[in-house]
Amino acid sequence: MSSPRRKIVAGNWKMNLDRSQARSLAAAVAARSSEAAAAELVLCPPALYLDPVLEAVAHSPVSVGGQNMHDKASGAFTGEIAPPMLIDLGCRYVILGHSERRTLFGETDTVVNAKARAALAAGLTPIVCVGETLQEREAGRTGDVVTAQVRGSLAGLSAAEIGRLVIAYEPVWAIGTGKVATPEQAQEVHALIRRVLGTLASPEVAAKVRIQYGGSVKPDNAAELAAQPDIDGALVGGASLKADDFLGIARAFGG
């Protein structure tokens, strides 16, 4: 039986590109999005370039998301971006709890949870990132760590709210390292995450939630990841900065 979940491939551009490069890359992805028409494509540029990227994809099915946001709707939070501001621009998604936010900016599951609630309240679809470090994997703690992150990040959300979000499983040791999890390693954790979602919401809701894999996904390893039953797309860092590479990955999921 084929999956009821529409695949979703998102590009996390991180703190890269300038305005003109951001516009050109977005325009190139938009112009070729039909190559992966069965998948949903999402671009997450630096916040300052959300507007030109939104303009560049305006007449295409490509969606746009933020890379982070604050959990308050407005207020004295210098330098921060409020969820309604992302909605106001036209964003549909926001990445939350990326491992770089967790390790470099001290975001805990409690912080991610507050942001997830705020994103959902504003009408954004959060892409909630979880994943173990190499040390945790080697200590045999992957399952416990990922389970705790999912439970903590989604604490208190209703089944309906859980049904609206996307999870990205990103083993920290695979992000930007060129080391990709094997399809079997990734599938095992994706299936675990779906079971955890089943206990937090219901098996029916869990069956609808899209779980992306992230960590050194490239055009030449995407197909074997896409073949796994619980891998519903990819969150792509480095390879999302080149239209050919991003679209190569997108085609593996939705071509």
Provide the minimum distance between the beta carbon of 74 and ligand PEP in the complex, in angstroms, as a whole number. 28
Strands 166-169 and 125-130: parallel
Residue nearest to ligand PEP (CB): 237
Contact 52, 82 (CB under 8 A): no
Nearer to ligand PEP, 33 or 216 (CB): 216
Interaction residues for ligand PEP, span 144-183 (CB under 6 A): 170, 175-176
Site membership for ligand PEP, residue 216 (CB under 6 A): yes
Nearer to ligand PEP, 142 or 216 (CB): 216
Catalytic residues: 98, 170
Contact 56, 107 (CB under 8 A): no
Provide the minimum distance between the beta carbon of 106 and ligand PEP in the complex, in angstroms, as a whole number. 18
Rounded Cα distance, 240 and 58, in Å? 19
Interaction residues for ligand PEP, span 23-52 (CB under 6 A): none
Give the one residue of 45, 97, 214, 254 binding ligand PEP; rule: CB under 6 A. Answer: 214
Q: Which stretch binds ligand PEP (CB under 6 A): 16-24, 63-71, 193-201, 213-221?
A: 213-221
Give the one residue of 235, 243, 247, 252 binding ligand PEP; rule: CB under 6 A. Answer: 235
Give the one residue of 237, 248, 253, 254 binding ligand PEP; rule: CB under 6 A. Answer: 237
Rounded Cα distance, 216 and 190, in Å? 17
Rounded Cα distance, 146 and 171, in Å? 9
Nearer to ligand PEP, 119 or 236 (CB): 236
Q: Which residues contact 129 (CB under 8 A, 6 or more apart)?
A: 95, 96, 97, 98, 99, 102, 167, 168, 170, 214, 235
Type of residue at 28: A
Rounded Cα distance, 100 and 108, in Å? 12
- What sections of the chain are H helices per DSSP? 19-31, 50-56, 83-89, 99-104, 109-122, 134-138, 142-153, 159-162, 183-200, 203-208, 219-226, 243-254
Site membership for ligand PEP, residue 66 (CB under 6 A): no
Site membership for ligand PEP, residue 105 (CB under 6 A): no
Nearer to ligand PEP, 29 or 82 (CB): 29
Nearer to ligand PEP, 101 or 161 (CB): 101
**Sites of contact with ligand PEP (CB under 6 A):** 12, 170, 175-176, 214-217, 235-239
